[in-house]
Each structure stands twice: as C-alpha cells, then as structure tokens.
Amino acid sequence: MALYNKLSPSAAEKLRAIVGDGRFQYGETVREEYSHDEMPIYGRFLPEAVCLAESTEEVSAILKLCHEENVPVTVRGAGTGLVGGCVPVAGGIVLSTMKMNKILSYDMNNLVVHTQPGVRLCDLAADALAHGLMYPPDPGEKTATVGGNVSTNAGGMRAVKYGVTRDYVLAMTVVLPDGTIMKLGKTVCKTSSGYSLLHLMIGSEGTLGVITELTLKLVPKPRMDVSLILPFCDIATAIASVPAIKLANLDPQSIEFMERDIVDSSAAFTGNAVFPTVVNGKEAGAYILVTLVGDSEAELTAKMDRLGEVAEKAGAYDTLVVWTDGLKKDVWAARSAFLTVIEAETKLLDEMDVVVPVDRIAEFLVYTHDEAVRQGVTVRSFGHAGDGNLHIYCCSNDLEEDEFKRRVKELMDRCYAKCTEFEGQVSGEHSIGHAKKAYLRESVGETAYGLMGAIKQVFDPKGILNPGKVCHDWEGGALDA
C-alpha cells in the first residue's frame, strides 16, 4: 500500500504559484545537493520538488496543500547535518528555509533577538556581537542555520558553561503539518505552565512542525576571554585532566579535546600550523583547549594560575596562553576546520556523536580505537571534553563502500552498546535522522521509543512531516507502488 502520493503536476503548479518561479524547483530543475546532507553515505534521495519559502504564510500554504495531497514534506536548512535529517527518504518535497534569512529585531531590554530560521549561525553570532551581545550556542558548523540548530538542539563548544541551544529558545512560530500557524513560548525566562510544547519542538528534527520564526535569548558579551592550550603525551592523559579542570572552579566557557593527527591534518589543510607539535622537547599526542572568561585581566590571571597548576599535576607538558585576538582567531579557526579537513581527506566517512560521562571518555575512546583496529577502519576523533560529547569519525580511503558499511556497522553496534553500558547518549548534538534510529531505539528502550512515536502521531497523524526520521517508521516502497 502506498502511504504517500507522488507530487502531481497540478499540485506542483500550485506550489509554484505559492512561492513563485524563482524559488521553485521541480523535476529536472531540482538540484542534486538536495538529495543528501554532509553524510552522503546514508544514501541519496532526490526530492520531487523544492520550495524556498520566504514567510510563515507561504510555509503554511505549502503544508496545507501537501497535507491535502498526502505528499511528504522535509524541511531543510543549510544541509550541514550528519545523520540524513533533512533528506527526503520517502520522496515528496523539500521545504528550504534558506530564504527566510532575516534577523528581524533585537529587544535590548529583554536581551532577545527575533529571527527567521534560515539565518546562518555565523551571521547571527556576528550580528549579536555588533550589538554587544553574545549568542552562546557555538556548534562547530558555523554555516548551519539557527533553525537547524534548534531542530537538532545543537550544543557546541560553549555548552560546558552556557548550556545548549534549548536553553536559549524562548519562543517560536511553528506551522503544523496541516498548515495551522501556532506560537509557542513567550519572551520570558520562566514558565511553569503546562506541558512545554516549545521544548518538544526543540530537537524534534522537523518531524512535528516547521519553525518559521524564533525568539532567542542572548547574554552580554564577556568582557575578556583567554584560551589555553594544554599539550599532553596521549589522549588518555589529556582526558584524565578534565574532571580536575572542572573541579577547579574556573567556570570555563569550553573544554575541547583533540588528537594529534587531526591537528596535523588541519595544519596541512589550512596552511596554518597553529598548535605546536613539539612542546618543551616532547612530542604532543593530544591537546586540551580551554577558554576562560572574566571581567578583568587580574581575574583571568588568577584563573589561569589555577588552571596551570591543575594542568601540571595532570601531566600537561605546558600551559600555552592564547591571548591576542589574532592568535585566538587562528586557534579556533583550526579547531572549527576539523570536520572539513576530515571530509576533504576521506573518501568514505561515517560518524558517531555519542555522549558519555566525562570520566569515561578516555575509556570509551580506547575501546573505539581498539575496535576500529579490529575492523580495519581508521578512526579520528575530537570533541567537547567538558561535557563528554565525542565526535568520532570512521574513515576509509581504500575499502569498497559495501565492505566499509559492513565493518562500520559492526564497529558502531559495539560502540553504541558500550555507550549505553556507560549510561551515555546516542547523540549529543547531531541528532538521529534516519541514520541512528535503531541505536536510539536500543538506547532508550521500547517504552520510551513507543511514547515518542505516539507523540509524532498526535502532531502529524498523516505522517507527512519528515517521514522515516527519529522514531517514525516508514516502510518504503510508496514511490514505486
């Protein structure tokens, strides 16, 4: 039985009428890039049409039509996801938010910004800074849209101090699958007012509704900050320092870890060898990168002193001070380039975004490396040491794709099981999409997974919004029926 209909030519013309010729792609004009995200290993699915909406009203009209026509709608931002979340696996149309890219207004009294969802994170961050404010969530992928960030509850490098995207969403406008427009949340910081549909929407990966406007909380920009690089002999020693750093009462803004080989690759790729590889005559095998913020140089110096002591006890080769703006830019640019570097160097790529308790990070990484060796797959990792969120990339340049997939599945089955054993999470910030559904189910158990499915059913009884994702099972075959 076909669950969904194909987009009929007449329905396509109606969509064209809604968004206009210039923002509509249909049939042959649909661009290939809409068939995948940054993890093409999970398959390519070309949509039947693409609508680049510009307003809530357009989104509403599109959804109303598709709801009536029983055509799937997959929302897509910048397409920088890593789990196939924005890929139309069941066909239908892609609804792009990229033209909803305006920052609408600032409320300087209440420290909030109203924005459309298609604004890129880097643009929002820069614009907020120009207003003397900071948008704290800071995921590595700066060209992602804020809408995408909210839909995946993205975390990023500053989560250890400021929390994640969820903590900065105060309100939003959402269009439900049948086209109903709804506002959720208010511009206030507290609520004890019934079930939080707002928070249900955050991290729901476009399966419950389409976000068309956001009210985000900002904070005053910290007066001063400094980053410190702690080089270690190996990753286990590096990670072992993290609990002590957290205990030192420094309130760090971020604690990142990186292994030597990815630092080397980043240096070769960007031409900017900013991380020293030999420190005090010793080869560094891994690094911890800490950022501290404060009101004055004296405050920062006191914090740095404490960090220096902790680092030395933990076996760091030295404590390097990234003080000048130019150096900060270089260091963080190198850090932000890691995924890009891996993508550039690797033919076949898959990833895990697990979260484990901070004191199990090293153990988990060792386990993963050992398993990878057994499977003959290269593993490269970096991530947020402060919150236990690890980005682990499985890479191969010589295996056949099917063989790679088989081995990576084997590897991941074991690693996710280990993660569950460690009381960890399947994904910290990249989400589930269609790639990690089975691991989610395994991890949360049947009861929770069933509840998630039931919630999806309440919001989207026809299942037209981003089918086949998170907890929604779609049997496939509709398009061929």
Partner 1 sequence: MLNILVCVKQVPDVNLVKIDPVTGSLIRAGVPAILNPLDANALEAGVRIKEQYGGTVTAITMGPDQAAEALRECLAAGADRAVLLSDRAFANADTLATSYVIVTAAKLLGEFDLIFCGKESLDGATGQMASQLAERFDASQLSSVLSVLSVDEEKKTVVAERELAGGVETALSTLPCLMTVEKTKLRPRIPNLKSWKASRTAQILRYHSQTIPGIDPEQIGDPGSPTKVPRTYPPEKGPGGEMIREGSAVKDVEKLLGLLADKL
Partner 2 sequence: MLNKNDCKDMWVYVEHEGGKVLPVSLELCCEARKLCDAAGEKLCAVVVGELHRSEIEKVLLCGVEKLIRVRGTGYDYFNVDAYAELFTKLCRKYHPSAVFVGGTINGRDFAPRFACRLPTGCTSDATQLVYDPRTGDIEFIEPAVGGKMMAVITVPVMRPQVGTIRPGTFKHVPSGARSCELIEETIDFDVEKIRTKVLDFVPDEVDESLNIADAEVIVCVGNGLKGADTLPRYRELAELLGGKVGCTRPVFDRGVLPYKLVIGQSGVVVKPKLYIAFGVSGAVNHVTGITDSDVIVAVNRDPDAAIFGYATYGIVGDMDEVCDAMIAQLKARK
Least Å distance, CB 132 to partner 1, is: 11
Whichever of 271 and 281 has its CB closer to partner 2, that residue is: 271
Whichever of 47 and 424 has its CB closer to partner 2, that residue is: 47
Tokens representing residue 349 in the block: 């790529």
Whichever of 23 and 407 has its CB closer to partner 1, that residue is: 23
Q: From CA 327, how far away is CA 331, in angstroms rounded?
A: 6
According to CB under 8 A, which one of 305, 343, 370, 401 is a site residue for partner 1?
A: 305
Q: Single out the residue of 347, 406, 339 nearest to residue 376, CA to CA.
A: 406
According to CB under 8 A, which one of 150, 169, 170, 274 is a site residue for partner 1?
A: 274
Whichever of 51 and 316 has its CB closer to partner 2, that residue is: 51
Contact 152, 429 (CB under 8 A): yes
Q: Which among partner 1, partner 2, none contacts residue 407 (Cβ within 5 to 8 A by kind)?
A: none
Q: Which among partner 2, partner 1, none contacts residue 271 (Cβ within 5 to 8 A by kind)?
A: partner 2
Q: How many helices (H) and strands (E) does the chain have?
A: 16, 20
DSSP state of 222: P
Question: Interface with partner 1 includes 269 (CB under 8 A)?
Answer: no
Q: Which among partner 2, partner 1, none contacts residue 323 (Cβ within 5 to 8 A by kind)?
A: partner 1
Interface residues toward partner 2, by CB under 8 A: 31, 33, 143, 269-272, 337, 340, 343-344
Question: Interface with partner 1 includes 32 (CB under 8 A)?
Answer: no
Sign of the CA dihedral 349, 354, 359, 363? negative
**Within its chain, how far is the Cα of 198 from the centroid?**
19
Question: Interface with partner 1 includes 10 (CB under 8 A)?
Answer: no
Whichever of 96 and 204 has its CB closer to partner 2, that residue is: 96
Whichever of 279 and 426 has its CB closer to partner 1, that residue is: 279
Tokens representing residue 317 in the block: 């080769």
> Which residue bears the tokens 């990229």?
98
Q: Single out the residue of 79, 142, 95, 47 nearest to residue 465, CA to CA.
A: 95
According to CB under 8 A, which one of 180, 187, 324, 397 is a site residue for partner 1?
A: 324
Q: Which among partner 2, partner 1, none contacts residue 261 (Cβ within 5 to 8 A by kind)?
A: none
Q: From CA 315, how far away is CA 306, in angstroms rounded?
A: 14
DSSP structure string for 319-383? -EEE-SHHHHHHHHHHHHTHHHHHHHH-SEEEEEB-B--GGGHHHHHHHHHHHHHHHT-EEEEEE
Whichever of 33 and 297 has its CB closer to partner 2, that residue is: 33
DSSP structure string for 75-101? EESSS--SSSTTS-TT-SEEEE-TT--
Q: Which among partner 2, partner 1, none contacts residue 70 (Cβ within 5 to 8 A by kind)?
A: none
According to CB under 8 A, which one of 50, 73, 216, 228 is a site residue for partner 1?
A: 228
Question: Interface with partner 1 includes 327 (CB under 8 A)?
Answer: yes
Whichever of 327 and 366 has its CB closer to partner 1, that residue is: 327
Question: Interface with partner 1 includes 341 (CB under 8 A)?
Answer: no
Question: Interface with partner 1 includes 94 (CB under 8 A)?
Answer: no
CB hemisphere CA count around 43 (13 angstroms): 13
Cα dihedral: 212, 169, 391, 424 (round 10): -120
Question: Interface with partner 1 includes 20 (CB under 8 A)?
Answer: yes
According to CB under 8 A, which one of 1, 10, 28, 29 is a site residue for partner 1?
A: 29
Q: Which among partner 2, partner 1, none contacts residue 132 (Cβ within 5 to 8 A by kind)?
A: none
Residues 103-132 touching partner 1, rule: CB under 8 A, are none
Q: Which among partner 1, partner 2, none contacts residue 270 (Cβ within 5 to 8 A by kind)?
A: partner 2
Least Å distance, CB 454 to partner 2, is: 40
Helices marked H in 158-296: 159-162, 197-201, 235-240, 242-247, 260-270
Q: Are strands 93-96 and 73-76 parallel, antiparallel or unpaired?
A: parallel
Contact 248, 368 (CB under 8 A): no
Q: From CA 415, how far away is CA 402, in angstroms rounded?
A: 20
Kindly indicate which of the ranges 22-30, 112-120, 211-219, 282-290 contains the residues binding partner 1, using the contact rule CB under 8 A. 22-30
Whichever of 320 and 358 has its CB closer to partner 1, that residue is: 320
Contacts of 176 by beta carbon, 8 Å cutoff, 6+ apart: 63, 182, 208, 209, 459, 460
- Positions that interact with partner 1 (CB under 8 A): 20-23, 29, 228-229, 273-274, 276, 297, 301, 304-305, 308, 318-327
